[in-house]
Amino acid sequence: MKIAIVTETFLPSTDGVVTRLKACVRHFVKEGHEVRVIAPDLGVYEFEGVKIEGVPARTLPFYRSKKFALPNPLVKDILHNYDPDIVHVVNPAILGLSGVYYTKKLGYPMIASYHTNVAQYLDYYNLSPFKFLIWWYFRKLHNHAELNLCTSQTVKKELDERGFRNVHVWKRGVDTDLFHPDKFDTDMRARLSNGQPEKKLLLFVGRLAAEKEIEKIKSVLERSDEFVLAVVGDGPHRQELEKHFAGTNTVFTGLLHGEELARAYASSDVFVFPSTTETLGLVITEAMASGLPLIAAESGPTCEQIEHNHNGLLYDPSKADDFTETLLKFKDETLRERLAKAARKEIADMGWNAQSRQVLDLYKEVLYAEEGNNEATGLI
């Protein structure tokens, strides 16, 4: 099978979408399929033997820490020359508009996947009145696809209610060999704790943006000097966060990758996930695989991964002090260790293969259905 993937983000970016796509590409190639990736041109043109077709990218006024590719007819030429059996448009929004348009124009079967709750993000940028336009736009794009994927049952329910057609939940995955408690490293712990390894080390990993609600963690550092915080990642909100946490026991590391990131997880004590806007939160899975208990907002996608008082603690985001009071419970080392063991045990056998096999089976299902329709109408 010849598979084309049109995505708004790929290497060298390191977010959850890229991690999932990398796992899929590896699996597809291993199974003997041909893959071509069409993505913003960020200077990477090959991934493990798979060609990456770069589309010119630029920073946008509202998000200067990342480059985006605008709609471009180059996508049509790439698709036409490659002539795929099926096209997967990932998170269609900007470049993905070209992916959807030219895939349909050229007559290829298409799957789309939904990974980012952009409409909910608008609440954090004083743009809430435009949410209905965002939903209209994404629904229109996704409903050109024969099948749509999303990353949690909660998101599927919302997409179904908003008129997205033929929505399926894409299974979770994680590299349980890379992310493992055995990656604990005393030097990394000293670095993340700013030379205070005896204290409880809180860890946040992710894009530094307003909707992540990272500011909440400061309340715990102010209430108790038993905790220190490491913030791993980068993004448009970094400068504001560094000012917000000035004077507290907080270390900003910037981006970490691969083994270094795995050591950061395994060398910490508690993973903190304050966001209520996630469609899944791959970092939750990575933290669990690393043997970290979690504290997270009680929201639909999060509750699908975290069971309160079993592998983590959930707080009520509608209660002003509930985050702080809940996190302070991790002063109890017995509680922390119990939740940590349960977190790793629950995720230990997951891996990436199941989610990659699932999407490959869905590609085949769409492709065979398309061939059946063509036979029925006499087109082949």
Element of type H or E holding 7: strand 2-7
Number of separate helices (H) and strands (E) present in the chain: 15, 16
User: Is there a cis peptide before residue 129, judged by omega within 30 degrees of 0?
Assistant: no
Burial of 150 per CB tally in 10 Å (0-12, 13-18, 19+): buried
pLDDT score recorded for residue 378? 53
How confident is the model over 318-342, as pLDDT tens digits? 998 999 999 999 999 999 999 999 9
- CA-to-CA distance for 297 and 191, rounded, in angstroms? 27
- CATH number of the structural domain 2-173+352-376: 3.40.50.2000
pLDDT score recorded for residue 375? 57
Q: Enter the pTM of the model.
A: 0.91
Pick the CATH number of 181-347 from 3.40.50.150, 2.60.40.10, 3.40.50.2000, 3.30.1340.10: 3.40.50.2000
pLDDT score recorded for residue 122? 86
Strand, helix or coil for residue 169: strand
pLDDT score recorded for residue 380? 45
Cβ neighbours, 10 Å, residue 34: 15
Structure-token match 């946008």, residue found: 60
Rg of the chain in Å (alpha carbons):
21
How confident is the model over 14-51, as pLDDT tens digits? 889 999 999 999 999 999 999 999 999 999 999 999 99
The segments of the chain whose pLDDT lies below 50 read 379-380
313 forms beta bridges with: 295
pLDDT score recorded for residue 183? 98
pLDDT score recorded for residue 372? 64
Beta carbons of 50 and 43 less than 8 angstroms apart = no
Domain boundaries, the chain: 2-173+352-376, 181-347
- Tell me if domain 2-173+352-376 and domain 181-347 are identical in fold: yes
